[in-house]
Amino acid sequence: MKTQRLMPLALLTSLLFFWLAPLSGFSQNAADYPYSTPDAASPVPHQITFGYWNDNLIFEFLDKFMKDGNDNYVTASFWSQIDFEKINRWWMIDIYYNILTNKTDNYRFDLLALKLSVEKDTRRALLQAGTGIIARGNFGGSGLQTGFHEIFGFTKVELPYSGANRTGLMLSVKVEPYIRRGEYLTLSSYLSSSFRTAAAPSNYRIGLNTICKLNKNNPNFSLEAQARAGYIRYYRRGDLLEPLFDRGVSYGIMFVANIFQTKHFAIWMTDNQYGRHQPHYGISFTFGSKQQRALRLSDITFP
């Protein structure tokens, strides 16, 4: 209990450091940054991403080759992210929309979240801190799920909304120390924590990341693979959330294609992302300037 009470204070302290350090001029020497940055006259690097993930595969023939979910718990998620680089940091605006169901106890609800984050990539570690607001209620998820199931011929899910609407604040921090950082292979560990005051559970994650570039010396097209494995634990769940989130070992695999340095296309698969031993399959598209922030599996591990 004492650790949980101290966690919001630690998160808030980290947030204040990362937000205020750029304004104070802290660590602004060129040697602190592993990559060159544009001069003042250059356009601000920017990008926008749209993503979607689901616990089921759309095409049934793929069930023979890949694990299928039970169309329950965190069953569908939509995500958009706007990024821009300023003061040698990436500033991010995320919008998450999750559709959740509990067929056993006969209820459903949706989550809608807005998150503001800042990320700094140093030679030794990737650092990120964020804050935002999250709401639980009826945001049209039932209609979206019904329409999707009708189009693809899936069984219709008819569940009432729980009615226990809530709104809360979010605080998050992520640290990914580099173990090996090369031109074509990067290995890092990660430790992250997300604290929510209401509406959604809090969690912490710990594990290993690896990123491997699969082709070389092609400015118009590149392909990379990412893998992530570790442990996740959700807490502060409450009666409605406890059946939907838990703990355990999780892993994920992502493939990212970079086209003309301005467009990214990614597909991924995760297992036990929310501690309920469910698979999730996702896809995303990114458009922006030539200097882009790399997409990571940690971006889609929400809530």
CA distance 14 to 248: 26
Q: Which two tokens stand for residue 111?
A: 């989550």
Task: Give the pLDDT of residue 261.
Answer: 82
CA distance 298 to 301: 5
Secondary structure (H, E, C), 39-79: CCCCCCCEEEEEEEEECCCCCHHHHHCCCCCCCCEEEEEEE
* CATH number of the domain to which 136 belongs: 2.40.128.140
CA distance 206 to 188: 11
Cβ atoms within 10 Å, residue 258 = 22
Task: Give the pLDDT of residue 42.
Answer: 61
Answer for the pair 300, 269: CB distance below 8 angstroms, yes or no.
no
Condensed to tens digits (0 to 9), the pLDDT of residues 31-52 reads 344 444 445 556 789 999 999 9
Task: Please enumerate, as own/partner, the contacts of 234-237 that have beta carbons within 8 Å and a separation of 24 or more.
Answer: 234/201, 234/202, 234/203, 234/274, 234/275, 235/4, 235/201, 235/202, 235/203, 236/4, 236/195, 236/196, 236/201, 236/202, 237/201
Give φ, ψ of 65 to 5 degrees. Answer: -110, -20
Listed as ranges, residues in the chain with pLDDT below 70 are: 1-42, 58-68
Task: Give the pLDDT of residue 60.
Answer: 57
Q: Tell me the three state secondary structure of residue 78.
A: strand
Condensed to tens digits (0 to 9), the pLDDT of residues 91-114 reads 999 999 999 999 999 999 999 999
Q: Which two tokens stand for residue 14?
A: 């980290």
Task: Give the pLDDT of residue 294.
Answer: 85
**Structural domain containing residue 216:** 2-26+33-300
Answer for the pair 169, 196: CB distance below 8 angstroms, yes or no.
yes
pTM: 0.85
Number of domains in the chain: 1
Task: Give the pLDDT of residue 62.
Answer: 55
Task: Give the pLDDT of residue 31.
Answer: 39
CA distance 268 to 254: 4
Residues β-bridged to residue 286? 49, 264
Residue % of the chain over a pLDDT of 70: 82
CA distance 61 to 257: 25
Q: Which two tokens stand for residue 68?
A: 């299928």
